């Protein structure tokens, strides 16, 4: 089904001069000292209209985007594990918004889901999100109101929780990856929630950016050890990055530490919403150019970035020892023997076999569901109407749950659970390689994945596909932990 996932509307990825990570987020930011008293580390984020040049071409125009505090991505929010974080959202948009800190285990009222966990923040209004940070890792923030359009126009940023004992590296790079649909001048084109995007693979674009711009060559020093924090902030694009001539080691998945390992199948595959932390030792010789290639869509492979080893001497002469595992986050281990098991079947979309579905208590043919409500995806036969529907799952606080997710569609779906992290137990009947913790698990067409978690965080939480147009098109539900 890969071929059906290619960019639609006649766009192609000819524009492959990629990824200017030039300024933001490239250096190893050092945390300013906290005051002695345990005050919250405070940030303030102001979403609003901005003009940002996405294309590297000097003749290209700046695009009208929406940005947090004027930049795409927004400022890096950085704190340390165990600290308290406070983020003031001041809404400078002409519409309501919220702030969702993706992947963080925080109190329900701080989760930023409109209607479900808070009233949306009106234009000119503000809201303070404040919570403790039990887990280290790479996370991100984005609005959860009109998500496909607000995220798609540029509202997102990295949220990094540093380990108490971070691994020793020479440099850290944060790459927030995105995929835009632009015209030749570099302006955003096309309506959001286009019917084709909803029913197919989401808003796939024709311009890939890292940290809000096409990426030029990435200068490195031979022998240098880099921690690369990757965040997929795209609406719909799955990335599959192969590192020519290098041996990257995955040390964390969706923020949570994992036994260091080479990426399965030789490439780092990331659906929307997912993160990966890599340790990459620059193994080239001075002067070498080593490409990072995205060949997730084989026939549309392109060079994502190029590590250019500076001429001159290498930083070190002998290779470093393999990276050590990071300390685990304090996640509750699910009790598999006592876990309550459920199946969640994903159906619908183009080339699917779905005929009818439930929507707001009414049984509708797929045709009516689509014509009247623009819904085309279901979980267990039910299309989501948004954020206020009856919970599909009522979970008992403190109990373990084991969910079998079955993708009966022709499309990729990164399924995201709010407020918790789950273990991935099996994939297509086989034990999952690292039993990694995750908050967003990618299911390819016909995949079956088992996850398990302890429902330890009370409140009503979303479970949804992070292809944002799929969520808009019905692929989500509410999970009530009480």
**Residues contributing to the site for ligand C2O (CB under 6 A):** 100, 102, 142, 144, 273, 416, 418, 462, 464, 466
359 to 293, 296, 373, 384: CA distances (angstroms)? 42, 34, 9, 7
How far is it, in rounded angstroms, from Cα 295 to Cα 260?
23
413 binds Cu ion (CB under 5 A): yes
Closest separation in Å from C-beta 218 to Cu ion:
31
Return all residues near 9 (Cβ < 8 A) that are at least 6 apart.
181, 190, 196
Closest separation in Å from C-beta 347 to ligand C2O:
20
Nearer to ligand C2O (CB atom), residue 442 or residue 462:
462
Nearer to ligand C2O (CB atom), residue 200 or residue 416:
416
410 binds Cu ion (CB under 5 A): no
Residue 54 near residue 22 (C-beta atoms within 8 A): no
Nearer to ligand C2O (CB atom), residue 25 or residue 273:
273
80: exposed, middle or buried (C-beta count within 10 Å: 0-12, 13-18, 19+)? middle
What does the radius of gyration of the chain's CA atoms come to, in whole angstroms? 21
The binder of 423, among Cu ion, ligand C2O, none, by C-beta within 5 to 8 A per type, is none
The binder of 460, among Cu ion, ligand C2O, none, by C-beta within 5 to 8 A per type, is none
The binder of 462, among Cu ion, ligand C2O, none, by C-beta within 5 to 8 A per type, is ligand C2O
Nearer to Cu ion (CB atom), residue 159 or residue 234:
234
- Segment interacting with Cu ion (CB under 5 A) among 64-72, 112-120, 295-303, 412-420: 412-420
85 binds Cu ion (CB under 5 A): no
- DSSP for 173-198, written as a single string: EEEEEEEE-B-TTS-B-S-TT-HHHH
The length of the chain in residues reads 482
With CB atoms as reference, the residue minimizing the distance to ligand C2O is 102
Closest separation in Å from C-beta 418 to ligand C2O:
6
Closest separation in Å from C-beta 50 to ligand C2O:
21
> Binding residues for Cu ion, how many (CB under 5 A)?
4
65 to 51, 213, 348, 457: CA distances (angstroms)? 6, 13, 32, 35
Where helices occur in 304-440 by DSSP H, the ranges are 366-373
Nearer to ligand C2O (CB atom), residue 105 or residue 418:
418
Residue 220 near residue 226 (C-beta atoms within 8 A): yes
- Among 21, 73, 229, 226, which Cα is nearest to 138's? 229
Query: Is residue 2 helix, strand or coil?
Result: helix
The binder of 470, among ligand C2O, Cu ion, none, by C-beta within 5 to 8 A per type, is Cu ion
**Residue 148, H or E segment:** helix 147-152
The binder of 102, among Cu ion, ligand C2O, none, by C-beta within 5 to 8 A per type, is ligand C2O
CB atoms under 10 Å from CB of 411, counted, come to 27
The binder of 413, among Cu ion, ligand C2O, none, by C-beta within 5 to 8 A per type, is Cu ion
416 binds Cu ion (CB under 5 A): no
The binder of 15, among ligand C2O, Cu ion, none, by C-beta within 5 to 8 A per type, is none
414 to 31, 238, 255, 279, 405: CA distances (angstroms)? 32, 9, 16, 24, 11
101 binds Cu ion (CB under 5 A): no
Pairing of strands 289-294, 239-243: antiparallel
Closest separation in Å from C-beta 142 to ligand C2O:
6
* Six-digit token string for 242: 């192969």
Closest separation in Å from C-beta 118 to ligand C2O:
14
The binder of 144, among Cu ion, ligand C2O, none, by C-beta within 5 to 8 A per type, is ligand C2O
Omega before 419 within 30 of 0, i.e. cis: no
Four-CA torsion 214, 58, 74, 151, nearest 10 degrees: -60
The binder of 464, among ligand C2O, Cu ion, none, by C-beta within 5 to 8 A per type, is ligand C2O
Q: Specify the long-range contacts of residues 55-59, CB closer than 8 Å, at least 24 apart.
A: 55/15, 55/182, 55/186, 55/207, 55/213, 55/214, 56/17, 56/20, 56/213, 56/214, 56/216, 57/17, 57/186
Nearer to ligand C2O (CB atom), residue 144 or residue 181:
144
Closest separation in Å from C-beta 141 to Cu ion:
21
Closest separation in Å from C-beta 272 to ligand C2O:
8
144 binds Cu ion (CB under 5 A): no
Q: Kindly write out the interface string for residues 446-475 of this chain, putting x where it contacts Cu ion by CB under 5 A and - elsewhere.
A: -------------------x-x--x-----
The binder of 467, among Cu ion, ligand C2O, none, by C-beta within 5 to 8 A per type, is Cu ion
- Among 114, 137, 187, 460, which Cα is nearest to 329's? 137
Closest separation in Å from C-beta 471 to Cu ion:
7
200 binds Cu ion (CB under 5 A): no
110 conformational bin, left if phi > 0, alpha if psi -120 to 50, beta if neither: alpha
Closest separation in Å from C-beta 273 to ligand C2O:
5
Residues that bind Cu ion (CB under 5 A): 413, 465, 467, 470
């Amino acid at each position: 089904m890969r071929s059906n996932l290619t960019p639609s509307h006649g766009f192609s990825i000819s524009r492959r001069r990629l990824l200017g990570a030039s300024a933001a987020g490239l250096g190893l930011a050092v945390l300013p000292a906290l005051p002695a008293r345990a005050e919250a580390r405070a940030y303030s984020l102001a979403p609003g209209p901005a003009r940002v040049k996405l294309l590297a071409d000097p003749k290209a125009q700046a695009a009208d985007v929406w940005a947090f505090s004027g930049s795409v991505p927004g400022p890096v929010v950085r704190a340390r594990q165990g600290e308290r974080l406070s983020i003031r959202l001041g809404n400078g948009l002409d519409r309501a918004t919220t702030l969702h800190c993706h992947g963080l285990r925080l109190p329900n009222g701080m989760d930023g889901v409109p209607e479900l966990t808070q009233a949306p923040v009106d234009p000119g209004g503000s809201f303070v999100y404040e919570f403790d940070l039990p887990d280290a890792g790479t996370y991100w923030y984005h609005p959860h109101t009109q998500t496909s359009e607000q995220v798609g126009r540029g509202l997102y940023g990295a949220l990094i929780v540093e380990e108490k004992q971070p691994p020793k590296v020479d440099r850290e790079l944060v790459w927030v990856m995105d995929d835009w649909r632009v015209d030749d001048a570099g302006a955003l084109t096309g309506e959001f929630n286009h019917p084709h995007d909803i029913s197919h693979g989401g808003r796939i674009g024709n311009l890939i950016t890292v940290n809000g711009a096409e990426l030029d060559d990435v200068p490195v020093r031979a022998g240098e050890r880099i921690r690369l924090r990757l965040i997929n902030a795209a609406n719909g694009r799955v990335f599959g990055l192969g590192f020519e001539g290098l041996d990257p080691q995955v040390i964390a998945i969706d923020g949570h530490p994992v036994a260091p390992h080479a990426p399965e199948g030789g490439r780092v595959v990331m659906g929307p919403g997912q993160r990966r932390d890599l340790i990459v030792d620059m193994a080239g010789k001075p002067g070498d150019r080593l490409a990072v290639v995205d060949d997730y869509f084989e026939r549309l492979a392109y060079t994502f970035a190029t590590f250019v080893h500076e001429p001159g001497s290498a930083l070190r002469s002998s290779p470093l020892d393999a990276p050590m595992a990071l300390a685990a986050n304090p996640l509750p281990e699910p009790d598999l023997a006592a876990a309550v098991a459920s199946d969640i079947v994903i159906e619908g979309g183009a080339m699917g076999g779905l005929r009818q579905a439930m929507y707001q208590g009414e049984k509708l043919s797929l045709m009516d569901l689509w014509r009247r409500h623009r819904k085309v995806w279901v979980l267990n036969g039910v299309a989501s109407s948004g954020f206020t529907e009856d919970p599909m799952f009522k979970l008992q606080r403190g109990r373990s749950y084991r969910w079998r997710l079955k993708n009966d569609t022709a499309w990729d779906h990164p399924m995201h659970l709010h407020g918790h992290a789950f273990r991935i137990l099996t994939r297509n009947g086989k034990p999952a390689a690292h039993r990694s913790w995750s908050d967003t698990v990618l299911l390819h067409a016909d995949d079956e994945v088992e996850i398990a978690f302890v429902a330890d965080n009370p409140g009503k939480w979303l479970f949804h596909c992070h292809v944002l147009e799929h969520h808009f098109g019905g692929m989500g539900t509410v999970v009530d932990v009480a």
